[in-house]
Amino acid sequence: MESLVPKSLATPFHQLGQADFAEIVQLRDHVLASLPHPDCYVSGPDEDAVIQAHLGQAGVTFGARIGSRLIAYAALSLDIDDAHLDPEFHHAIVARSVNGDLARDRCAVLAVAMVHADFRGRHLHREAIRRRLQFARANGRSDIVAMVSPHNAPCLHNLVAEGFRVQDVIGFPDGRERYFLRGNPA
Ligand SMILES: CC(C)(COP(=O)(O)OP(=O)(O)OC[C@H]1O[C@@H](n2cnc3c(N)ncnc32)[C@H](O)[C@@H]1OP(=O)(O)O)[C@@H](O)C(=O)NCCC(=O)NCCS
């Protein structure tokens, strides 16, 4: 399905680089200050490092703009050991690669996705999922995984709409629960 943002207003998701770091931080801070539910995104010890890691070292980030203004970004992890994933999520991926059917060398992770509050409900997230799947598959990664809070209905809805299915529920030491989702192998 096409984005609801008129093409004349929003650029398609394009790969971001180091020069975009400050703008990504600014958008992240805006989104974290206005989460629909605090469980939707629980910050880790170094969120700047998460952004940095997805600007080349451990993955890639795609952004959408209106004019020159960044209104959405989404990250894809390609190196699960260096992507600053939650330890429980990392463990779940590794365990499945050792004991299960997940091929680690063909695995990629849909990591962070942030859409500015003024631009939600316009399918930017759906577009960001598709852009990352396209990139992952073009780079030989067909095992795409994601982790979502049960309180994040739009995120879960979009992943399921794009073919992901909940495979498990991960428990965190602080009582949090997260759905572990797998995409359809291409
Ligand atoms: C989650 C988030 C990325 C979604 O972005 P978005 O661009 O607004 O999402 P979309 O427009 O692509 O899709 C919204 C979908 O969710 C659906 N939705 C919204 N609320 C819903 C609910 N309570 N239950 C079920 N579906 C819901 C909408 O109907 C729409 O689906 P449709 O187009 O099939 O009708 C955005 O809300 C956000 O940035 N949230 C804060 C940060 C966050 O939680 N990030 C994800 C974790 S990293």
Q: Which range of residues forms the domain containing residue 25?
A: 14-182
pTM greater than 0.85 (yes/no): yes
* Tokens at 57, concatenated: 């070292």
Protein residue whose Cα sits closest to atom 26 of ligand 1: 154
122 CB within 6 A, ligand 1 = yes
What backbone torsions phi and psi does residue 61 show, to the nearest 5 degrees?
A: -130, 140
Considering the domain boundaries, does residue 159 fall inside one?
A: yes
| pLDDT tens sequence across 19-29 | 999 999 999 99
- List the CATH number of the domain containing 44: 3.40.630.30
101, pLDDT greater than 90: no
Considering the domain boundaries, does residue 8 fall inside one?
A: no
Which of the listed residues 39, 115, 119 should we mutate to test ligand 1's pocket, taking the one with most ligand atoms within 8 A of CB? 115
Considering the domain boundaries, does residue 3 fall inside one?
A: no
Report which of 19, 83, 90 is spatially closest to residue 47, judged by C-alpha positions: 83
